[in-house]
Chain A
Amino acid sequence: MTSFLSGFFDPLPRILVADDFDNGMSGWLDLRPNFVAPGFREHSADIDLIHWGPTMLSSATFAFGGTHGSASGTYSLKISSRAAAAPADQPPVAGSMGLAIKRLAVPGDARRLRIETLLAHKVEQDRPGLGVDDLRAFGMFVDLQDDEHRYMPGVRYVNAVDGEPVRRWQYYSPTDATDEEWSYGADGWHKAGVDPQWFGERGPDGSTVATTWFEDGEQHLIYNESDDKLNWTPFSLTVDLVNRSYEEFRVGGRSFRFPDGAHPTLAPAYNDIEGLLNPVFFVEADTDRRVSLFLDSVVVSVERGEAA
């Protein structure tokens, strides 16, 4: 097996991992809760976190088109939801998302972090027609913690809400919700701002208390004209680790600008996770159809040294 970075990728000087899924899962797996309660039960029961759809290596094989393959080679990482969805203003229901995580640690002196991939979003071709508006959203965030804060910078493409197209990007931003409000009323494990992909009050337009729409954030990503056609689209998010702020976000041919100093919620540090670097990709269903996010290579890179 050989791995090389195609011209789609523009990593920072130090590449930490370059995961070509022709070589296996490469450490990506389902994001699951902490099974630390009696009987190996999950750590909290505020929402159902144990029935999200499973992650798999996919050849992107379809009924009529055959095997699509990946941008380079045969296999990509497929993150899938189950056939379930709650209304946009409700907490996610069991199985309405699929999430894949990789668990790393920040190397010393890293001051900038970049996550890149090639991605495609699809709805299961289980019925005639075009399913594009049955996929609510997909996105990526990075779970980070330094000596003071746990924070999760990330972006989310709201594709459709209640069957209506939205096609806009948002980013995770600070919330003033209490921990209890954040966890939908449960007094539990989670601090406000942590796990914004499923916590925080949701609005009917696809927003949450911890999201901000990009100015000029509308983008009609390539879904293509059929549920079995993929176009591998480059995605790149850069984070300033020194200031815990957003730096740059690029998707396809577009570059989206963050307001100066924009950052996600800065939650208090948790025990025993200082320095973690956990990128997470996710996909969300909008109706009772399975939806998938396909990733070809994922490249995580950093720049070290003193700020320029």
Chain B
Amino acid sequence: MKTFYTSVIELRQPFDQTIETHPYECGWADEAIFFVELHDPEPGTGVELRVQISPDGIRWIDEGTVLKTTSTTFARVTHFGGFLRLAGTARQADGEAASATVSVRLALKG
């Protein structure tokens, strides 16, 4: 049997404009899905989040996957080395920076 684990990395976490999720070690896993959920956003407010990988959990590099949502979404990721996180921003419909409350769940399998 493969190992499976879902971590609720961020639970109803308020972010002010800039979003960076907790560095998560998951080198054991072959595949991952980030589930992203916005809580009660102002109309038009959304987040744009980049999947990032890291050799050490400190220094981060964009993996290439980008999530955009005003409600809920997910992104599949593979071949990510040892660490994963999401980084990005929350913005209003007119592009102005915004606050957002976000839950991020990371489903891992390997």
Contacts and interface: CB of A to CB of B under 8 A. Distances in A.
Interface in B1-38: 3, 5, 7-9, 11-13, 22-28
A58 B5 contact: no
Given A24-B5, A25-B5, A58 B58 contact: no
B56 A50 contact: no
Contacts of B12: 50
A125 B58 contact: yes
Interface residues of A, number: 26
A62 B56 contact: yes
B57 interface: yes
Contact of A126 (B11, B24, B58): B58
B27 A61 contact: yes
Interface string A43-63: 000000011011111110111
A79 to B, nearest CB: 12
A287 to B, nearest CB: 17
Given A24-B3, A63-B56, A51 B26 contact: no
A3 to B, nearest CB: 14
Contacts, number: 56
A30 interface: yes
B55 interface: yes
A25 B28 CA distance: 11
Contact of B25 (A51, A59, A63): A59
B3 A61 contact: no
Interface in B66-106: 82-83
Contact of A58 (B9, B25, B59): B25
Contacts of A74: 28
Contacts of B57: 61, 124
A224 to B, nearest CB: 17
Nearest to A125: B58
A82 B5 contact: no
Nearest to A30: B8
A124 B58 contact: yes
Interface string A143-154: 000000000000
Interface string A100-141: 000000000000000000000000111000000000000000
A61 B57 CA distance: 8
A61 B22 contact: no
Given A24-B5, A54-B7, A82-B22, A59 B27 contact: yes
A78 interface: yes
Most A CB atoms within 10 A — which of B3, B9, B56?
B56
Given A50-B12, A61-B56, A56 B7 contact: yes
Contacts of A75: 28
B11 A50 contact: yes
Contacts of A23: 3
A197 interface: no
Nearest to A25: B5
A227 B93 CA distance: 43
Contacts of A62: 56
Contacts of A32: 8, 11
Given A59-B27, A59-B82, A61-B82, A54 B56 contact: no
Contacts of A80: 22
Given A25-B5, A63-B56, A124-B58, A53 B28 contact: no
Contact of B5 (A50, A57, A59): A57
B28 A54 contact: no
A125 B54 CA distance: 14
9 contacts: A53-B22, A54-B9, A56-B25, A58-B25, A61-B57, A63-B56, A74-B28, A78-B25, A124-B57
Given A30-B8, A55-B7, 17 more contacts: A23-B3, A32-B8, A51-B11, A53-B22, A54-B8, A56-B25, A56-B26, A57-B5, A57-B26, A59-B28, A61-B57, A61-B82, A61-B83, A63-B55, A63-B56, A75-B28, A82-B22
